[in-house]
Amino acid sequence: MDKDLMAALAPIPPKRSLLPPLSARSSLALLCQVLYREGYNDHIAGHITWRQADDTLLANPWELAWDELGQEDILTLDAQGRVLSGGWNITPAINLHTEIYSRRPDVNVIIHNHSRYGTLWANAGRAPEIYDQTSAQVDGLLPVLDEYNAPVNDTSEGARCAELLGDHKWALLANHGVLVVGGSIEQAYLRAATLEWRSRVAFEVESLGGGTPLPDRVASAVGSMIDGNGFPFYWEASARRVLRQHPDLFG
Separation CA 48–CA 30 (nearest Å)? 11
Mean pLDDT of 114-141: 98
Mean pLDDT of 9-28: 80
- Return the percentage of the chain with pLDDT > 90, whole number: 84
pLDDT digits (tens, 9 = 90+) for 222-231: 999 999 999 9
End-to-end CA gap in the chain? 41
Separation CA 75–CA 90 (nearest Å)? 8
How many other C-beta atoms can be found within 10 angstroms of the C-beta atom of residue 218? 13
- pLDDT the model gives residue 15: 57
Whether 150 shows a pLDDT value over 80: the answer reads no
Separation CA 146–CA 161 (nearest Å)? 8
Domains, the chain, in order of start with CATH, read: 23-245 (3.40.225.10)
- pLDDT the model gives residue 49: 98
Q: For residue 149, what pLDDT band results from cuts at 50, 70 and 90?
A: low
Q: For residue 249, what pLDDT band results from cuts at 50, 70 and 90?
A: confident
Judge whether 160 and 147 are in contact, CB under 8 Å. Answer: yes
Give the SS3 label for residue 30.
helix
- pLDDT the model gives residue 157: 80
By mean pLDDT, which of 131-140, 208-217, 225-234 is the weakest?
Answer: 225-234
Q: What is the 3 state secondary structure string of 48-115?
A: EEEECCCCCEEECCCCCCHHHCCHHHCEEECCCCCEEECCCCCCCCHHHHHHHHHHCCCCCEEEEECC
- pLDDT the model gives residue 122: 98
Whether 147 shows a pLDDT value over 80: the answer reads no
Mean pLDDT of 64-77: 96
Whether 27 shows a pLDDT value over 80: the answer reads yes
- pLDDT the model gives residue 156: 74
Mean pLDDT of 8-20: 68
Would the pTM of this model clear 0.85, i.e. be above it? yes
Angle between helices 116-124 and 185-207 (to 10 degrees): 60
Whether 232 shows a pLDDT value over 60: the answer reads yes
Mean pLDDT of 140-153: 80
Q: 30 - beta bridge partners?
A: none
Whether 38 shows a pLDDT value over 90: the answer reads yes
- pLDDT the model gives residue 247: 81
- pLDDT the model gives residue 10: 59
Separation CA 151–CA 133 (nearest Å)? 38
Whether 9 shows a pLDDT value over 60: the answer reads no
